[in-house]
Structure 1
Amino acid sequence: MNNAMTEMMHALEQGDLALIDQLLETFLTKELPEDIYALAELFMQYGYMKEANHVLEHLQFLFPEEAQLKIDRANVLMELGDEDEALELLLAIDETSAEYPQALLVLADYYQMQGLFEVAEKRINEALSLLPDEPLLQFAKAELLFETGRFLEAARLYEELHAQQNEFAGIRLVERLAEVYRAGAAYETALDYYVEALEDEVKPDMLFGAAYAAFQSQKYEMAIKQLEELKELDPDYFSAYLLLAESYAMMEDNQKAYTAIMEGLKRDEYDKTLFLFAGKMALKNSLPTEAEQHLREAIAIDPEYMEAVFVLTSVLTQQERYEDVVELFETLQQNDFEWSALYPFVAEAYENLEMYDRAYGFYRLAYTDFKDDVAFLEKYVYFLLEEGRRTEAKEVLQQLTVLQPGEPTWQEQLDALEFA
């Protein structure tokens, strides 16, 4: 390494921009082209993109037909946000050039980042037509297919690469295979790859991925083992706690499930899904007061959290706390939140509070969406009969006879109305 390069490296390590500027022009005029190119690479390595662009522009002036310089400078320009000039450089590279496939790959990366996946794939396919056995291009296509949800096609390419080498572009292919099979819902195959990956290196994301694949494969004990190990490795891996609680719940160990979810809430008190599951597990453990508290916490985080609202409304109805049902619903209405799934609960609440006009209004609203719900129709028809609304009661009874043709009660009620 010559003295000029040593001085420049020292300035880079010190972050001395004034000294870099002072040394640069002399370097460009006195040093050999290969040393100037090495300096450009050094600038890129340290993140000095403006300086790298200046050096590459100088080299381009010296060697205007050099395709590699155009590609390198296009990459730098994209980092600087000057995409138009970068594309102009790439598109200027001749199709007969040895660097043309590399230019196509850079273009594909750009279009992929812009979300223009079809254009990106077209560029990669063109490059592959020139170099069909080039691993870099095969990997690029696999990555594109993965990102666009074509998991089986991506897996095939990753498998072919994995048969040749263990790692590519800094990515362990066994990990990529685990991820792509998991994304494609091939959980048992994914699990095999996760296990293989963990044999070489234990990482939090790999443990969670293995646990998720095990859970989806109904291997709950294995999922629990992986998640417990994950908690020890990284106690703040928040996603682990919900999956751990769900795994215990699937094993019908509701107490451990509740303990796990409460441990998760100590780590992350702003996750509405943790509060919802805590509410469900509290109910399973006969802790109604705690369940209500958890559910209300979930709704406080997200007032339109439908599942939490539904579960809480259902709990309040079962407890015959009809005033609380109405209060909850009216609060939601004040926040401009309307949800027809709540209408049956609200109708029942108003009925039990002897607010019959309000109950009738919500029964009618609910009827639109619950015409096939026998439990709802049964409550509705008895309400209508009690209120003397015979014509509407007949309509509901006729619907019940269709849904339950073998139930004599409905036909008897219908006959009674016909001949009354």
Structure 2
Amino acid sequence: MSYSEKLLDAIENQDFSQDKILLKQALDNDEPEVLASLAENLTSYGFTNLSKEVYRSLIAKFPKEDLFKVYLAEILLNDGDDDDGLTLLYNILPDSSAYLDSLLVQADYYQTNGLLETARDKLLQALKLAPEEDAIKFGLAELDYLDGEYEQALSLYRDLVKRQKNFGETNLIQREFQTMAKLGQYEEASEVIKEHSADILDIDSKYQAGLIMLSVGDDDQAIKYLDDVIDQSPDYVNAYPLLAQAYLHKHDNEQVLRSAQAGLAYNELDETLYSMGAKAAANMNELDTAEDLLKKGLEIAPDNSDLLMQLSNLYIHENKDQENINLFKDKSDEELEPQAHWNMAISYENLDKNDKARAEFLLAYPDFQKNPEFLKQMIRFFNVEPNSTDIVKQLLDRYLKLVPEDAEMQDLYNDLI
């Protein structure tokens, strides 16, 4: 057994008492091929300090073997020793057999650090040296995708898909249809998904497929993929709002509510699910459930105006006028939406607090002066208010321009003139 093997055995057995001694013995006695394998294994185990010593020893013995310099440089860059790593790489000349490897490591480094143009330049140099190398094409495709150059990325992904469906851990089918979606080619993307449904296996690909199928209105297929995502990983929280939306398109309130409640069990901060679940519950006349969801949502997000107005509308529907008014007691007029003023006007009127109802109707009026339902409510309120004939006439004049066929309001107008 070589000293390299003894060192690796000791590491696998978590015996680190003699690692320095065994490493020195390996460097002094083992063949270069064995040491190269040792360095690779040490790197994969995460013992980069030891692997760096092996590579430095190999470089000292074989100064013209530039591939060892590339491997050492890659470790140095990963360990944050940027200057030393880049120096090694830039000292590898174009006529070296390791020059291509050097360019690829440089490209990866610059991409990781957000220098996409520099990374692209390195990959284009590499492509000239190896125009058929898929690793280079994949790197360029990923760079183009990150940089928003989706047309270029799509062309590269399509070329790669001809020869393979995955590159490393990356699903190229997903990359293809996701890039189409970025270009707005949703229908084309959905066709790719249908054609390669058997190849969409990993969870992220299924999620993206569900999102695209939802975008093209194929709700059944969207539900299929999103259900697969949740079955595979119930805590994949982004899937639940999409699933609820798909069921909403199918007018399946029961499943919308179920999806929302299931999603909230994993992410109680999802304000969208509180809203969707509450609407579905209200549609099924499960008003207590709707109210409970909205209250919990407002505890999480007290400034969410959508949830606030949903709860206000629910209180109006249930004739819970004081509860409705209490919703807005700590809000200034500037914070309130016009609908809030309308809702408070209704509640104050129901509670016979006409002065406050009058004020709220007038505050809501500028935003709802073209809304026939609002105008009709306001007309009926002011019609029984003292000294309000002129206001009622003005409101009727505006209302009848919108709804001239309303005989009741036309008769009221005729009585006033």
- For residues 217 and 33 of structure 1, do their structure 2 counterparts lie closer, same or farther at Cα, with a shift above 3 Å needed? same
Partner of 1:159: 158
Does residue 1:42 correspond to 2:38, yes or no? no
Equivalent pair of 1:273/1:298 in contact (CA under 8 Å): no
Q: Give the aligned CA root-mean-square deviation in angstroms.
A: 4.2
Which letter maps to 2:107? A
Which letter maps to 1:289? D
Does residue 1:302 correspond to 2:304, yes or no? no
Does residue 1:282 correspond to 2:281, yes or no? yes
Normalised to the residue count of structure 1, the TM-score between the two structures is 0.78
- For residues 56 and 396 of structure 1, do their structure 2 counterparts lie closer, same or farther at Cα, with a shift above 3 Å needed? farther
Which letter maps to 2:45? Y
Partner of 2:22: 23
Shift of 1:346: 6.7
Partner of 1:52: 51
Shift of 1:77: 1.5
Equivalent pair of 2:150/2:183 in contact (CA under 8 Å): yes
Q: Deviations over 1:211-253 (max 9, x none)?
A: 3322222112233334445554544444444333322221122
C-alpha separation in 1, matches of 2:51 and 2:286: 64
Partner of 1:3: 2
C-alpha separation in 2, matches of 1:73 and 1:284: 64
Does residue 1:118 correspond to 2:117, yes or no? yes
- For residues 89 and 224 of structure 1, do their structure 2 counterparts lie closer, same or farther at Cα, with a shift above 3 Å needed? same
C-alpha separation in 2, matches of 1:397 and 1:84: 79
Partner of 2:172: 173
Which letter maps to 1:5? S
Shift of 1:66: 4.0
C-alpha separation in 1, matches of 2:44 and 2:342: 63
Shift of 1:379: 8.4
C-alpha separation in 2, matches of 1:92 and 1:373: 74
Which letter maps to 1:154? A
- For residues 406 and 345 of structure 1, do their structure 2 counterparts lie closer, same or farther at Cα, with a shift above 3 Å needed? closer
Equivalent pair of 1:377/1:396 in contact (CA under 8 Å): no
C-alpha separation in 2, matches of 1:395 and 1:68: 87
C-alpha separation in 2, matches of 1:23 and 1:366: 86
C-alpha separation in 2, matches of 1:362 and 1:107: 67
C-alpha separation in 1, matches of 2:147 and 2:382: 53
Partner of 1:412: none
Q: Give the secondary structure class of the aligned counterpart of 1:94.
A: coil
C-alpha separation in 1, matches of 2:201 and 2:340: 50
C-alpha separation in 1, matches of 2:390 and 2:92: 80
Partner of 2:190: 191
C-alpha separation in 2, matches of 1:120 and 1:6: 38
Partner of 1:222: 221
- For residues 377 and 172 of structure 1, do their structure 2 counterparts lie closer, same or farther at Cα, with a shift above 3 Å needed? closer
Q: Deviations over 1:256-312 (max 9, x none)?
A: 333343344455555433222110101221222221211111122222334323322
Equivalent pair of 1:299/1:308 in contact (CA under 8 Å): yes
More moved, 84-93 vs 154-163: 84-93
Shift of 1:144: 1.5
C-alpha separation in 1, matches of 2:281 and 2:342: 22
Q: Give the secondary structure class of the aligned counterpart of 1:17.
A: coil
Unmatched runs of 5 consecutive residues or more in structure 1: 410-415
Q: Deviations over 1:56-99 (max 9, x none)?
A: 23333334454323321221122222223323333333344343
Partner of 1:140: 139
Q: Deviations over 1:186-217 (max 9, x none)?
A: 33333343345442464443433333322222
Equivalent pair of 1:49/1:79 in contact (CA under 8 Å): no
Which letter maps to 2:119? A
- For residues 230 and 42 of structure 1, do their structure 2 counterparts lie closer, same or farther at Cα, with a shift above 3 Å needed? closer
1:204-283 pair list within 5 angstroms:
204-266=203-265, 268-283=267-282
Which letter maps to 1:156? S
C-alpha separation in 2, matches of 1:27 and 1:168: 36
Number of residue pairs aligned between Structure 1 and Structure 2: 406
Q: Give the secondary structure class of the aligned counterpart of 1:18.
A: coil
Does residue 1:348 correspond to 2:366, yes or no? no
More moved, 96-105 vs 45-54: 96-105
C-alpha separation in 2, matches of 1:222 and 1:273: 22
Partner of 1:311: 310
Does residue 1:72 correspond to 2:71, yes or no? yes
C-alpha separation in 2, matches of 1:126 and 1:113: 18
Which letter maps to 2:274? F
- For residues 3 and 185 of structure 1, do their structure 2 counterparts lie closer, same or farther at Cα, with a shift above 3 Å needed? same
Which letter maps to 2:306? E
C-alpha separation in 2, matches of 1:341 and 1:169: 55
C-alpha separation in 2, matches of 1:33 and 1:62: 9
Shift of 1:117: 2.5
- For residues 375 and 330 of structure 1, do their structure 2 counterparts lie closer, same or farther at Cα, with a shift above 3 Å needed? farther
Partner of 2:323: 324
More moved, 289-298 vs 324-333: 324-333
Normalised to the residue count of structure 2, the TM-score between the two structures is 0.78
C-alpha separation in 2, matches of 1:381 and 1:96: 86
- For residues 377 and 126 of structure 1, do their structure 2 counterparts lie closer, same or farther at Cα, with a shift above 3 Å needed? farther
C-alpha separation in 2, matches of 1:247 and 1:295: 21
- For residues 193 and 396 of structure 1, do their structure 2 counterparts lie closer, same or farther at Cα, with a shift above 3 Å needed? same
- For residues 119 and 344 of structure 1, do their structure 2 counterparts lie closer, same or farther at Cα, with a shift above 3 Å needed? farther
More moved, 148-157 vs 133-142: 148-157
Q: Give the secondary structure class of the aligned counterpart of 2:121.
A: helix
More moved, 341-350 vs 388-397: 388-397
C-alpha separation in 1, matches of 2:161 and 2:405: 66
Q: Give the secondary structure class of the aligned counterpart of 1:303.
A: coil
- For residues 306 and 37 of structure 1, do their structure 2 counterparts lie closer, same or farther at Cα, with a shift above 3 Å needed? farther
Which letter maps to 1:104? L
Q: Give the secondary structure class of the aligned counterpart of 2:148.
A: coil
